[in-house]
Amino acid sequence: MASSQTFTSYPGFCSDCGSILPLLRDHGNVICYTCEKEYSVDVFGDKKIQYTIYFNSQEALAKNVDRKNQKSNEEDEGPVVDRKCPKCGNDKMSYATLQLRSADEGQTVFYTCTKCSYKETENS
């Protein structure tokens, strides 16, 4: 006599396709998401499912935000060149380049003072 089960499986797994069965609902049977075979709630046996939810503390959240802000500030700076700031006289400025005009024209260089954050542009 042929068995109707394709797999010998543990409780919580579909015996036809081997997929993990969805969790029990408040009422009704369990239906496999993959092959849509319907099982009675007895397929889970005596298993109990228990959840514990842990929330991050306010201190951990604040540290994470500080780290992200510090990292973004470091990344925003970019490469540094010897260029005098016209506002504060600092001789170091970071820069970034963009192609804002047509391809046959030069790029635009954006300079930012590492001390006072003054910004200026240069069309090269």
Which residues sit in the known binding site? 14, 17, 32, 35, 85, 88, 113, 116
Whether the CB-CB separation of 39 and 61 falls below 8 Å is answered with no
Q: Beta strand pairing status for 80-82 and 92-98?
A: antiparallel
Cite the annotated binding site for Zn(2+) by residue number: 14, 17, 32, 35, 85, 88, 113, 116
Sheet strands (E) in the chain: 30-31, 38-39, 80-82, 92-98, 108-113, 119-123
What are the contacts of 95-98 at 24+ separation with CB within 8 A?
none
CA 98 from centre of chain? 27
Rounded to whole angstroms, the Cα distance separating 17 from 37 reads: 9
